Structure 1
Amino acid sequence: MRGPFVQDKPIYIQVRELIEDQILNHQLKEEEQAPSTNQLVEFYKINHATVSKGINSLVDEGILYKKRGIGMFVAVGAREKLIEKRKATFVEDYIVKLVQEADKLEIEESDIIRLIKKVKRGEHHEH
Structure 2
Amino acid sequence: MTAPLYKQIATLIENSIMDGTYRVDQRIPSTNELARFHRINPATARNGISLLVNAGILYKQPGIGMFVSAQASALIQERRDAAFAANYVAPLIDESILLGFSRSHIHALLDQVAESRGLYE
TM class, shorter-chain normalised? 0.7 to 0.9
- Residues 105-116 of structure 1 correspond to what in structure 2 (within 5 A)? 107-116=101-110
- 1:100 counterpart (91, 94, 100): 94
Q: CA deviation at 1:99?
A: 2.1
Alpha-carbon distance in 1 for matches of 2:72, 2:29: 16
Identity of aligned residues (%): 38
1:120 is aligned with what amino acid? A
1:38 is aligned with what amino acid? N
Change (3 A) 1:25 1:117: farther
Alpha-carbon distance in 2 for matches of 1:115, 1:35: 42
Return the TM-score normalized by structure 1: 0.79
How big is the alpha-carbon RMSD for the aligned residues of Structure 1 and Structure 2? 2.1
- 2:69 counterpart (55, 61, 75): 75
Say if 2:49 is the partner of 1:55. yes
Counterpart position of 2:38:
44
- 1:28 counterpart (22, 25, 36): 22
Alpha-carbon distance in 1 for matches of 2:103, 2:53: 41
Counterpart position of 1:84:
78
Query: Tell me, which stretches of 5 or more residues in structure 2 are unaligned?
Result: none
Counterpart position of 2:60:
66
More helix as a share of residues? 2
| Equivalences, count | 118
1:45 is aligned with what amino acid? R
Alpha-carbon distance in 2 for matches of 1:27, 1:118: 32
1:24-82 Cα deviation digits (max 9, x unpaired): 22221111111221121111111111110110111112110112222111001110111
Q: CA deviation at 1:104?
A: 4.8
SS for the counterpart of 1:85 is: helix
Counterpart position of 1:3:
none
1:87 is aligned with what amino acid? D
